[in-house]
Amino acid sequence: MKNMMKFFSIVSIMLFIACGWYVNDYYRADLDAIMVFQSEIKVDKQVFDDNIIYAPEHADTGLIFYPGGKVETAAYEPLMALLAEKNVLTVLIEMPFHLAVLDMNAADGIQEKYPDIEHWYIGGHSLGGAMASSYLGKNIEDYEGLILLASYSTTDFADSSLNVLSIYGSEDNVLNAKKYQENMIHLPKDFTEVILEGGNHAQFGMYGPQSGDGIPSISNAEQIHQTADEIIEWMNHGH
């Protein structure tokens, strides 16, 4: 009996250590690169409930964004700030242990805090995009569109009037190409797909190279600028 209790105690300690290692093993934001990128950004950052908000003064369009799995939230500040410079209110969600799957409903209640926003979109990067689409499936009447960055939707929107933008880099070796193609049937037939030539998986944020990813032929800053331009053009077309 004592040996059995000792065994379970050891197993419990090992699981505790393993869990601690797992939740602390994530991609850190490249704060130096972000600081350089944002040196000319004029929209002030706000933090509420750990979420990062960039709120232009006269915005009528808003985007709720779910970060990629195991990526520090701040890594997506450059993209959010750039969109805010183009007059989009952006709400960057802080996820538990950097995993959107642990709080898929994190967007709940955010729209009510910004009653002046007329056009709402939701989206995310990689796992964040998948979880945003799952959330949207239950709240589709509240949003005009979905933005998927190196991601895909397992929720079926094929027969909906939802606007969908899917962007990925030509050098992305992390996104599962087979699953991406298989899940295209879940999107409306008129969805917009953009392939960024020379872009990869990680460069939608600023957190350095990602394991298994392709080598980009454009800079991190250039991929973020191109992404922001594509999003704004698509949003304007949608209105």
pLDDT, tens digit (0-9, with 9 covering 90-100), for 117-147: 999 999 999 999 999 999 999 999 999 999 9
Q: Judge whether 125 and 93 are in contact, CB under 8 Å.
A: no
Q: Report the candidate in 171, 166, 179, 224 with the shortest Cα–Cα distance to residue 199.
A: 171
- CATH architecture, range 28-238: 3-Layer(aba) Sandwich (3.40)
Looking at residue 24, what is its pLDDT? 61
Cβ–Cβ contacts within 10 Å for residue 50, how many?
A: 11
Cβ–Cβ contacts within 10 Å for residue 230, how many?
A: 16
Spatial separation of the C-alpha atoms in residues 76 and 34, rounded to whole Å: 9
Instruction: Identify the weakest region by mean pLDDT among 38-47, 105-114, 147-156, 167-176.
Output: 38-47
What integer best gives the mean pLDDT of the chain?
A: 91
Give the pair of three-digit tokens for residue 155.
């929720």
- Give residue limits of the domains in the chain: 28-238
Task: Indicate the pTM of the whole model.
Answer: 0.90
Q: Which amino acid is at 206?
A: M
Q: Report the candidate in 49, 96, 52 with the shortest Cα–Cα distance to residue 75.
A: 52
Going by pLDDT thresholds of 50, 70 and 90, the confidence category of residue 239 is low
Stated as kind and residue range, the H or E segment containing 187 is none
Going by pLDDT thresholds of 50, 70 and 90, the confidence category of residue 18 is very low
Looking at residue 38, what is its pLDDT? 86
Looking at residue 143, what is its pLDDT? 98
Q: Which residue has the tokens 């993209």?
A: 79
